[in-house]
């Protein structure tokens, strides 16, 4: 199995967006008033070349973010707290083409969640099966979704994903799961917190696993330390997800790949697993 990290441009955030400051409503406000920025962070999507077909996990961002009015003007988050840069050739479509992967080769597109920088490349997959958790779609759609920061007016008109309900089948510390492949080596697990319906994807590569984490945390360190971001829907759920990932990584070598961690591609290339010290595992 081959796994590719595909960088579809960059996103810079206020520092208190990447690492939350304070709690509750104040934590959200802090992301807006913060004048300090992170360096441009990668926006990763991942591609698994699996014998049962290519699996795309997230679609990255679109170059259209440079158009005036692409993001809703009323949203203070897009005005004050996030800056994205994506060149046309950085979109996932052209990058798949360069890898020799045709759209028809893609068996599934799995969305970890529906934030703009994960769904922005969806227009490259009009004829593919898209998987989204039922909880995530319900949370992200309509006016309420827009108020929660989802840019759902930009979703393709044809967008009608297959809804995923996880089964009451534990997968290590994760209480529910769903095997995606018939071989049972690619599994969807719950990763709530950043959004309520977020999914993570665990790829079994024999003696280790690769965990495609979406925005479970922005960095590996934040997951290890249980530090929540500035905008996640539920701080406690986010920490619970961090703990489950640490517990999983304590029992099995796990390469942890968040979508915006500058180290993700290197860790994937080296198959460098998370180092969970016993102290951290019980924290």
Handedness of CA 150, 152, 158, 164 (dihedral sign): positive
Q: Per the structure block, which two tokens stand in for 107?
A: 């068996």
Beta carbon of residue 188, minimum distance to Zn ion (angstroms, whole number): 17
For Zn ion, the closer CB: 233 or 281: 233
Only one residue has tokens 């697993």, namely 273
For Zn ion, the closer CB: 50 or 115: 115
Beta carbon of residue 111, minimum distance to Zn ion (angstroms, whole number): 11
For Zn ion, the closer CB: 172 or 197: 197
The residue nearest Zn ion at its CB is 115
Quote helix, strand, coil % in the chain, to nearest 5: 35, 25, 40
260 binds Zn ion (CB under 5 A): no
Among 231, 276, 245, smallest CA distance to 174 is for 245
Cβ–Cβ under 8 Å, residues 196 and 214: no
Question: What is the pattern of x (binds Zn ion, CB under 5 A) and - over residues 17-56?
Answer: ----------------------------------------
Residues 6+ apart with CB under 8 A from 26: none
Q: b/e for 190-207, b at 16 or more Cβ within 10 A?
A: bbbbbbbbbbbbbbbeee
Eight-state DSSP code of residue 148: T
Beta carbon of residue 231, minimum distance to Zn ion (angstroms, whole number): 8
Looking at 10-18, 174-182, 215-223, 275-283, which segment touches Zn ion (CB under 5 A)?
215-223
Beta carbon of residue 194, minimum distance to Zn ion (angstroms, whole number): 6
Separation between Cα atoms, residue 65 and residue 88, nearest integer Å: 10
Looking at 30-38, 109-117, 124-132, 263-271, which segment touches Zn ion (CB under 5 A)?
109-117
115 binds Zn ion (CB under 5 A): yes
For Zn ion, the closer CB: 115 or 154: 115
61 binds Zn ion (CB under 5 A): no
Among 215, 229, 238, 261, binds Zn ion (CB under 5 A): 215
Interface residues toward Zn ion, by CB under 5 A = 115, 215
């Amino acid at each position: 199995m081959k796994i590719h990290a595909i960088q579809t441009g960059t996103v810079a955030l206020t520092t208190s967006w990447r690492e939350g400051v304070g709690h509750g409503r104040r934590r959200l406000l802090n992301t807006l008033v913060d004048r300090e920025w992170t360096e441009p962070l990668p926006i990763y999507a991942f591609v698994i070349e699996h014998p049962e077909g290519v699996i795309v996990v997230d679609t990255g961002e679109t170059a259209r973010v440079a158009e005036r009015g692409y993001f809703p003007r009323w949203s203070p988050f897009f005005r004050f707290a996030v800056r994205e840069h994506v060149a046309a050739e950085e979109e996932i479509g052209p990058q798949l083409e360069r890898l020799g992967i045709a759209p028809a080769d893609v068996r599934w597109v799995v969305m970890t969640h529906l934030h703009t920088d994960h769904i922005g490349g969806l227009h490259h997959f009009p004829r593919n099966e898209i998987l989204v958790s039922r909880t995530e779609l319900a949370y992200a759609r309509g006016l309420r979704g827009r108020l929660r920061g989802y840019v759902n007016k930009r979703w393709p008109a044809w967008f009608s994903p297959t809804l995923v309900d996880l089964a009451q089948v534990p997968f290590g510390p994760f209480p529910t799961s769903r095997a995606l492949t018939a071989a049972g080596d690619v599994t969807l697990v719950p990763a709530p917190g950043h959004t309520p319906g977020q999914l993570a994807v665990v790829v079994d590569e024999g003696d280790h696993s690769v965990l495609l984490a979406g925005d479970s945390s922005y960095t590996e360190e934040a997951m290890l330390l249980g530090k929540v971001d500035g905008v996640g829907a539920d701080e406690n759920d986010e920490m619970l997800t961090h703990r489950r990932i640490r517990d999983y990584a304590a029992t099995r070598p796990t390469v942890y790949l968040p979508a915006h961690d500058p180290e993700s591609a290197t860790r994937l290339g080296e198959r460098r697993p998370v180092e969970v010290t016993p102290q951290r595992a019980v924290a």
